């Protein structure tokens, strides 16, 4: 027989647990996922990683939820980019502003290594705990770049590259042995701007003067005891002591739940499900290097933004009566000029149809990433977003000497004076070089002209800010390339305002397609399933990035210059 009293007891215990005060948890040491998965590989990779949108939306929802009483987060590692850190910082501060305690704890902020950015993230929390054996690697900001000229020369590879203009420095990787003056100037300002943001954030979070924080940065790194002495952390504690202290403060009946689980819980999910006739802001993700054709990813690398896919999503949103405004989330270093122009056109078409478009820039929205953004009604970026790089580059490696050294012969026949213009077996002729430079001038003029029109400035001013130079989001706002600082939520608020929607109008990832819909072929180029990404195999596989850097399969002429390590 079933023991009724036992069943009732279990039900009461379950109800008590469900109604218990909730402490939300975050683990920010394993990285985060930017957007919803669009293909099977992305879904597998995202299974045990938290989405940025779940963190931001979850913490904003929890700030209003009386059942949620505190937030505790494990911080450390270097797996989250600066702009994403800043979006999380904003959400944590919003949660704390509701009068709810926020606690960060770390085993170490860098163990015999830099920990500036993870520590910067931790300073958004009300209290910081550090394991007694840990360190605070507050050592500042450095940008390190590699130059391959001498290596390529030894290998017998000669690069013939041209760019518009002096700050479009991707070519320098192959043609220089170190910084040119414009390259050093631009990279130096990037490091300076990022350092300024870190100093201000740490000073505000820890209640320290900015000049004092600068001195601490110059004298770092610090042992746990030194960090405590200087006021960089509040307590030296192990994990069990951190959590034990929270339970002592709020009671043993408190329940722990990850923010991602909280955001996707049944109650919150019900509030997020669409209902007939609702008016929404569509959130369209435009992520990865920009290419012609469909968006895709490989088993070994990240997403690639296909013009056909993003354009199809913008067309579908434009034709959808429920969609009243669009937030285009751009996270891209650029790529194909023609593909970028395709997406730029669809942004303009959506605006012409009366649907405001607001761009939310992620970690990077530069070169082609800026091209697809510049026609929007407004652009919102984080202070640490890398943007601008308004310029163009092109050319090819000439590997004749390399082939000769390894015993490879080349012969050819051709019809047409320029049939071998892009062959890597020989250099450009005078006529071909003139033709390439004419193309470069045309693309640069088109790019800067559209910047001037989209941003309401003269061509002369657009050229002054362009020339291939990369800016942080903070400097881009000061120069008029970006409208304001903030994340997706700020962009959504701006889109609602421009569309005349209420402040609580939902922001929906768009288009929302199920697994079966993504598998079936689209009915036409205007079917919303045409906005689904595909899985594609590339011959270079995990060596794709190296191959690209050697000039083998380039994404396109509107690419962010250089390959940087920022520490």
* Beta pairing, strands 392-398 & 158-164: antiparallel
* Cis peptide leading into residue 409 (ω within 30°): no
Q: How far is CA 344 from the centre of its chain?
A: 19
DSSP H or E run through 379? strand 378-381
- Distance between CA 433 and CA 430 in Å, rounded? 5
Is 425 catalytic? The answer is no
Task: Please pick, among 360, 367, 373, 559, the residue that the annotation labels catalytic.
Answer: 367
Name which of 482, 398, 390, 446 is nearest 186 in CA terms. Answer: 390
Structure tokens at 322: 């429920």
* Residues 29, 75 contacting (CB under 8 angstroms): yes
Question: What do you get for the CA distance between the two ends of the chain, in Å?
Answer: 65
The angle formed by the CA atoms of residues 456, 458 and 463, to the nearest 5 degrees, is 115
Structure tokens at 417: 């004076």
Residues forming a β-bridge with 470 = 388
95: burial class by Cβ within 10 Å (0-12, 13-18, 19+)? buried
- Distance between CA 206 and CA 196 in Å, rounded? 15
Count of CA atoms in the C-beta half-sphere (13 A) of 187: 25
- Between the alpha carbon of residue 30 and those of residues 44, 115, 136, 397, 542, the distances in Å are 15, 15, 19, 38, 21
- Distance between CA 248 and CA 261 in Å, rounded? 24
Name which of 390, 393, 337, 340 is nearest 366 in CA terms. Answer: 390
- The sign of the dihedral angle between the CA atoms of 358, 363, 366, 369 is negative
* Residues 261, 58 contacting (CB under 8 angstroms): no
Q: How far is CA 185 from the centre of its chain?
A: 24
Is 168 catalytic? The answer is yes
Contact residues for 102 (Cβ-Cβ < 8 A; gap 6+):
70, 71, 72, 73, 92, 95, 96, 124, 125, 126, 127
- Distance between CA 176 and CA 167 in Å, rounded? 13
Task: Please pick, among 100, 168, 324, 396, the residue that the annotation labels catalytic.
Answer: 168
List active site positions. 168, 367
């Amino acid at each position: 027989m079933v023991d009724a009293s036992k069943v009732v007891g279990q039900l009461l215990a379950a109800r008590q647990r469900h109604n218990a005060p909730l402490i939300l948890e975050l683990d920010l040491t394993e990285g985060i996922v930017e957007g919803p998965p669009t293909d099977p590989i992305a879904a597998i990779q995202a299974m045990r990683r938290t989405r940025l949108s779940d963190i931001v939306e979850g913490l904003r929802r929890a700030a209003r939820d009386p059942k949620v009483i505190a937030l505790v987060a494990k911080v450390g590692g270097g797996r989250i980019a600066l702009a994403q850190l800043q979006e999380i910082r904003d959400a944590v501060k919003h949660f704390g502003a509701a009068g709810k305690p926020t606690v960060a704890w770390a085993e170490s902020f860098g163990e015999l290594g830099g920990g500036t950015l993870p520590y910067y993230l931790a300073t958004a929390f009300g209290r910081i705990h550090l394991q007694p054996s840990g360190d605070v690697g507050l050592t500042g900001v450095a940008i390190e770049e590699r130059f391959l000229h001498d290596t390529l020369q030894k290998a017998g590879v000669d690069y013939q590259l041209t760019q518009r203009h002096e700050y479009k420095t991707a070519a320098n990787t192959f043609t220089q042995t170190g910084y040119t003056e414009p390259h050093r100037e631009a990279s130096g300002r990037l490091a300076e701007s990022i350092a300024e943001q870190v100093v201000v954030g740490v000073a505000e979070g820890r209640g320290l003067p900015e000049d004092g924080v600068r001195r601490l940065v110059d004298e770092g790194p610090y042992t746990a005891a030194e960090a405590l002495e200087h006021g960089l952390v509040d307590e030296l504690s192990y994990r069990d002591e951190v959590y034990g202290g929270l339970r002592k403060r709020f009671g043993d009946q408190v329940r722990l739940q990850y923010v991602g689980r909280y955001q996707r819980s049944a109650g919150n999910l019900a509030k997020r499900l669409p209902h007939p006739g609702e008016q929404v802001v569509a959130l369209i993700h435009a992520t990865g290097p920009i290419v012609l054709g469909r968006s895709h990813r490989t088993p070994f690398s990240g997403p690639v933004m296909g013009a056909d896919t993003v354009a199809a999503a913008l067309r579908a949103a434009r034709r959808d009566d429920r969609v009243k405004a669009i937030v285009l989330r751009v996270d891209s270093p650029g790529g194909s000029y023609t593909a970028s122009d395709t997406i730029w056109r669809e942004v303009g078409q959506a605006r012409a149809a009366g649907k405001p478009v607001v761009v939310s820039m992620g970690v990077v929205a530069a070169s082609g990433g800026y091209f697809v953004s510049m026609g929007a009604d407004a652009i919102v970026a984080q202070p640490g977003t890398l943007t601008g790089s308004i310029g163009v580059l092109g050319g090819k490696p000439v590997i004749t000497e390399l082939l000769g050294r390894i015993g490879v012969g080349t012969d050819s026949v051709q019809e047409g004076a320029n049939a071998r213009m892009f062959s890597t077996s020989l250099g450009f002729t005078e006529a071909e070089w003139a033709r390439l430079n004419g193309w470069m001038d045309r693309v640069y003029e088109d790019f800067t002209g559209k910047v001037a029109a989209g941003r309401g400035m003269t061509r002369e001013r657009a050229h002054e800010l362009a020339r291939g130079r990369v800016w942080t989001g903070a400097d881009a706002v000061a120069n008029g390339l970006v409208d304001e600082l903030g994340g997706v939520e700020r962009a959504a608020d701006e889109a609602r305002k421009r569309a005349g929607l209420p402040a609580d109008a939902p922001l929906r990832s768009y288009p929302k397609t199920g697994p079966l819909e993504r598998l079936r072929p689209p009915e036409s180029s205007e079917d919303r399933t045409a906005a689904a990404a595909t899985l594609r195999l590339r011959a270079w596989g995990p060596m794709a990035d190296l191959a690209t850097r050697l000039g083998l399969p380039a994404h396109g002429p509107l690419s962010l210059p250089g390959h940087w390590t920022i520490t």
